[in-house]
């Protein structure tokens, strides 16, 4: 819920950053799509190439959205590059039809349970750290866990284990990870949304020399430090 506080100077303060609003909406739509596929895959018939590629692409795009929304991640920059490449790997496995890469595609599909489990382990670790430790860096840590979870579930789209018990275990792992990822994404978004350093100030009586309203960015400073604000006419 957005809180509004009116003052005699006709200023309305809304604790929301409208800059990445579209990115945040896209992020909150894409993450549940990937999570829903992971949770329901055991109850669905085998998906076709197009549907599988769409889920894998959604996961890869979600990784990019996560990195755009967070102020930082809990891993070095080199690891971020590897995570971006890993998130796009399943798309190559799904869409590749070149016979020269047929052997590599089959090998990648056979080894897919490994990146699923390894990335899931890192994701669970980051989620636990973010939820249990808290602090100013909690949002960045949880966002990092979300990136690892998206990479894991991206590879889950091409995971075709042969053994029955391995298939069951991977399905349980993916379902639990999907639930944790949705909770982590929501938690990180709320933490980012309530950041006191972000505010939107709507101010009236701002006109240019010809009497027309203007939009003026300002930087407000208060007890909480520097605040990025946007001043609009009411």
This prediction has a pTM of 0.72
Helix/strand/coil percent split, the chain, to 5: 60, 10, 25
3 state SS of 64: helix
Using the predicted structure, report yes or no on whether residue 26 has a pLDDT greater than 50: yes
The DSSP call for residue 207 is: B
CA distance 68 to 62: 10
Q: Are 178 and 38 in contact (CB under 8 A)?
A: yes
- CB-based contacts of 86: which residues, under 8 Å, 6+ apart? 115, 119, 151, 154, 155
Higher pLDDT, 145 or 73: 145
Q: In the chain, where are the structural domains located?
A: 11-15+198-232, 21-193
Predicted local confidence at residue 197, as pLDDT: 47
Predicted local confidence at residue 19, as pLDDT: 52
Strand 200-203 to strand 11-14: parallel, antiparallel, or no bridges (unpaired)? antiparallel
CA distance 156 to 175: 11
Predicted local confidence at residue 232, as pLDDT: 39
Predicted local confidence at residue 192, as pLDDT: 64
Mean pLDDT of 153-181: 90
Using the predicted structure, report yes or no on whether residue 176 has a pLDDT greater than 50: yes
Using the predicted structure, report yes or no on whether residue 206 has a pLDDT greater than 90: no
128-148 core/surface letters (b: 16 or more CB in 10 A; e: else): ebbbeeeeebbbbbbbbbbbb
| Phi, psi (degrees; rounded to nearest 5) at 220 | -100, 140
CA distance 7 to 85: 50
Using the predicted structure, report yes or no on whether residue 49 has a pLDDT greater than 50: yes
Q: Are 211 and 24 in contact (CB under 8 A)?
A: no
The percentage of the chain sitting over the pLDDT mark of 90, rounded to a whole number, equals 38
Each residue of 118-152: pLDDT tens digit? 999 999 999 999 888 776 788 889 999 999 999 99
The tokens 């089959």 sit on which residue? 106
Residue 231 β-bridge partners: 201, 216
Strand 11-14 to strand 216-222: parallel, antiparallel, or no bridges (unpaired)? unpaired
Instruction: Could you list the beta-strand ranges (E) of the chain.
Output: 11-14, 200-203, 216-222, 225-232
Residue 44's pLDDT band (boundaries 50, 70, 90)? confident
């Amino acid at each position: 819920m957005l809180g509004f506080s009116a003052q005699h100077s006709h200023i309305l303060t809304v604790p929301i950053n409208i800059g990445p609003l579209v990115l945040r909406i896209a992020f909150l739509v894409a993450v549940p799509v990937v999570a829903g596929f992971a949770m329901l895959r055991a109850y669905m018939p085998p998906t076709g190439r197009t549907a599988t590629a769409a889920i894998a692409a959604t996961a890869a795009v979600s990784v990019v959205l996560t990195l755009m929304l967070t102020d930082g991640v809990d891993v070095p920059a080199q690891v971020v590059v590897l995570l971006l490449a890993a998130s796009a790997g399943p798309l190559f496995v799904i869409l590749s039809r070149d016979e020269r890469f047929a052997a590599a595609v089959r090998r990648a599909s056979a080894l897919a349970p490994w990146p699923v489990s390894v990335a899931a382990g890192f994701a669970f670790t980051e989620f636990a750290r973010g939820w249990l430790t808290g602090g100013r860096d909690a949002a960045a840590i949880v966002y990092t866990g979300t990136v690892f979870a998206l990479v894991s579930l991206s590879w889950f789209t091409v995971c075709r284990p042969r053994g029955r018990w391995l298939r069951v275990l991977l399905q349980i792992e993916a379902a639990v990870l999907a639930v944790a990822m949705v909770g982590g994404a929501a938690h990180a978004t709320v933490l980012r949304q309530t950041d006191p350093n972000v505010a939107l100030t709507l101010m009236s009586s701002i006109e240019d020399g010809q009497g027309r309203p203007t939009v003026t960015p300002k930087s407000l400073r208060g007890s909480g430090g520097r605040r990025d604000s946007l001043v609009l006419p009411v």
